Structure 1
């Protein structure tokens, strides 16, 4: 169900298996630290985020940052999950053209996601570096997001990925994000790639 997938995506913000729940004050402090880190990632990308610098800017200690996030990659994974959830909310609230067929709906939605990613390239660059780092959790953690993006595009919360179309399109999306943040491809070419992939995957035979 949709809520189960969203819960998995929310859980992906945490790289630690917590032995207890954070209280309200701890959750607020954790969110403040994450906001500081996001500003740094938005400005300077992956290399611009260090535990020591985040701690200093947030007025806390490196030990506290490690306690809340486990590692630098755990912190950036948290930021990327927040970005993903924000992106999903934006997509759900974006106007859609009911005259489009399913393939064109998905293609248009994923092209918009690329546009939004282009607005925050440095944060995305940090996220992509984190996913593929030795301590990263791998792209599999994003499978719930891929499914939810397609559901939002189709305005169908009960759609299921029985043929792995969302999974395949999600891997294409990941490659497009890598191109956007590190490769030579321009935005028009990246948008063409993701829309073409969506049309090929979702056009009914």
Structure 2
């Protein structure tokens, strides 16, 4: 009972700090102001969060959880490229709707990145990327794709927020989105047939043209690729 009450009070402090941040900016988030807004004694904040930076870390985690709740993970999208664009749009829209919170979450490189909500959000993104890869539409490797997508969304929002109102042109966001999609995806699938068999056939066809592998390595890889395509025909 006591633990639950303490956790409820702690959450009330985090939400009060997030509300102050949204309404009045980061400078307004003082321990005194947050304590008054949450209806607790200031020493409680130090017990629960250590210091103001610890409180801000908790607010960032709250932001990641709020963002995660707004995400929709479609594990079978009709078009994985369109699904990628939709996810990017959602991230940008969240940032524009919550400027102070977004700046806290993403203005410092590693703030909140160890939180469960941040990691869950990254798994949704990695799922989108993996579906692009299995459909033959991914231009770069999956880790690089994740970095590019994350960097362009963050850069688009933080750049937008740094501009005066009269210089905020929606064309910036459109151009960033299209640049991201062009950098990460292919216009047509890299292989004709989805799955390992199609990829194996495509790689088998290109194998004689490469010079990185030795003759013995090429023969061994060729055997493996032949087995993948043969196994598929057996299943059929």
Q: Which TM-score applies when normalising by structure 2? A: 0.60
The alpha-carbon distance between structure 1 residues 192 and 152, as it changes in their structure 2 partners (threshold 3 A), is farther
Structure 1 unaligned segments of length 5 or more: list them. Answer: 1-21
Question: Residue 98 of structure 2: which of 100, 116, 120 is its match?
Answer: 120
CA–CA distance in structure 2, aligned partners of residues 126 and 36 of structure 1: 15
Question: Residue 58 of structure 2: which of 67, 78, 98 is its match?
Answer: 78
Q: Confirm whether residue 144 of structure 1 aligns to residue 103 of structure 2.
A: no
Alpha-carbon offset, residue 125 of structure 1: 2.9
Query: Could you say which residue in structure 2 is the equivalent of 1:189?
Result: 172
Structural mapping, 1:2-151, within 5 Å: 23-92=3-72, 98-100=77-79, 102-129=80-107, 131=108, 137-138=110-111, 141=114, 144=119, 147-151=122-126
Question: Residue 180 of structure 1: which of 152, 160, 164 is its match?
Answer: 160
**Would you say the 8 A contact 1:88–1:152 is kept in 2?**
no
SS of 1:92's equivalent in the other structure is: coil
Query: Could you say which residue in structure 2 is the equivalent of 1:167?
Result: 147
The alpha-carbon distance between structure 1 residues 68 and 111, as it changes in their structure 2 partners (threshold 3 A), is same
Query: Could you say which residue in structure 2 is the equivalent of 1:10?
Result: none
Q: Which TM-score applies when normalising by structure 1? A: 0.67
The alpha-carbon distance between structure 1 residues 152 and 55, as it changes in their structure 2 partners (threshold 3 A), is farther
Number of residue equivalences = 174
**Would you say the 8 A contact 1:110–1:194 is kept in 2?**
yes
Alpha-carbon offset, residue 151 of structure 1: 4.3
Alpha-carbon offset, residue 34 of structure 1: 0.7
Residue deviations 1:127-167 (CA, integer Å, cap 9, x gap): 345x26xxxx45864873662341465696xx9x8533213
CA–CA distance in structure 2, aligned partners of residues 28 and 165 of structure 1: 39
Query: Could you say which residue in structure 2 is the equivalent of 1:3?
Result: none
| Larger radius of gyration between Structure 1 and Structure 2 | 2
